[in-house]
């Protein structure tokens, strides 16, 4: 029997992860299975424990279970502790280790795939949910002049900024306080794009030198990417690369081998472009 991996989520049918891990496994010659495991919040804990008791080797975890997964595992990596959320579990010697590879995936996409370089950038992080939290330490590793977190519910941004204050220069605020401030990099970690919306931030945060990055991805431009392009941003990128890079980090944790992400990212982008062209 090949080692068994799953993705826990609710809903999960739309996920690209089986495609990504299938390509990684073929590329690296790994004998493994990877399937979707849809489970509602009230069943997640029992289902996950049953999967691992039954010999499951590892799992990815997506919405809405990332926080519950942090409570489920026996041990957390440092980055999972900082994110207070788990998106990857590996079972070793009957012990469950929880990791969070989202932030590393974001950083790898920005610096390795997109080859973005800054000296003391001014960074704006939109959102204060799980993905934003996981991005804090990786974004601070870019040694920004300032990292501003802004959120629709402002007190969540302020609380997050306070929590990470020891790691670097951070401020938290509401969207309206961003007026007349410019940024080198804006990362959209809100889920607004999933509903075709854009966070209500002042448009002058973007100019022709700004790179805008949406963690969300989809067929065609996300709402945030389209908005950034309309405002003349230097670059506007969706989160496909983050998706593939966080998966590569998980794969390495499970299998001890680093897959080549470039062909997988190319294949995903081609599929997304085809989906955008075909009538719905």
Point out which residues bind ligand NDP (CB under 6 A): 63, 102, 105, 127-132, 151-153, 156, 189-194, 197, 199, 215-217, 239, 242-243, 246
**Residues facing 5 on adjacent strands:** 34, 58
Beta carbon of residue 271, minimum distance to ligand NDP (angstroms, whole number):
15
Contacts 24+ apart (CB under 8 A), 155-159: 156/128, 157/128, 159/128
How many other C-beta atoms can be found within 10 angstroms of the C-beta atom of residue 117? 9
Beta carbon of residue 192, minimum distance to ligand NDP (angstroms, whole number):
4
Our answer to whether residue 177 is catalytic in this structure is no
Q: Which of 66, 115, 177, 229 is catalytic?
A: 66
Radius of gyration of the chain (CA): 19
Beta carbon of residue 105, minimum distance to ligand NDP (angstroms, whole number):
6
Q: Which is nearer to ligand NDP, 74 or 153 (CB)?
A: 153
Nearest position to ligand NDP, beta carbon: 129
Residue written as tokens 């085809």? 274
Q: Which is nearer to ligand NDP, 120 or 153 (CB)?
A: 153
Beta carbon of residue 87, minimum distance to ligand NDP (angstroms, whole number):
7
b/e code 19-47 from CB counts within 10 Å (16+ = b): ebbebbbeebebebebebbebeeeebeee
Return the active site residues: 66
């Amino acid at each position: 029997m090949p080692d068994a991996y799953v993705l826990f989520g609710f809903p999960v049918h739309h996920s690209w992860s089986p495609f990504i891990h299938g390509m990684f496994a073929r590329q690296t010659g790994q004998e493994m299975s990877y399937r979707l495991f849809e489970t509602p919040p009230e069943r997640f804990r029992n289902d996950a424990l049953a999967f691992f008791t039954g010999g499951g080797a590892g799992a990815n975890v997506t919405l809405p279970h990332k926080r519950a997964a942090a409570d489920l595992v026996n041990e957390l990596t440092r980055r999972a502790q900082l994110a207070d959320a788990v998106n990857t579990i590996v079972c070793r010697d009957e012990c469950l280790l929880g990791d969070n590879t989202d932030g590393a995936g974001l950083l790898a996409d920005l610096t390795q795939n997109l080859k973005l370089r800054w000296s003391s950038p001014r960074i704006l992080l939109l959102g204060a949910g799980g993905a934003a939290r996981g991005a804090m330490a990786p974004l601070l590793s870019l040694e920004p002049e300032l990292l501003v977190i802004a959120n629709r519910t402002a007190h969540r941004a302020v609380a997050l900024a306070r929590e990470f204050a020891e790691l670097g220069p951070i401020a938290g605020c509401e969207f309206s306080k961003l007026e007349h401030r410019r940024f080198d990099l804006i990362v959209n970690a809100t889920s607004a794009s999933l509903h075709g919306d854009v966070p209500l931030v002042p448009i002058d945060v973007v100019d022709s030198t700004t790179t805008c990055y949406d963690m969300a991805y989809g067929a065609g431009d996300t709402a945030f990417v389209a908005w950034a392009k309309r405002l003349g941003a230097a670059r506007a990128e969706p989160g496909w690369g983050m998706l593939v890079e966080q998966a590569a980090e998980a794969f390495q944790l499970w299998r001890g081998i680093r897959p080549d992400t470039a062909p997988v990212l190319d294949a995903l982008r081609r599929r997304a472009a085809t989906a955008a062209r075909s009538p719905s």
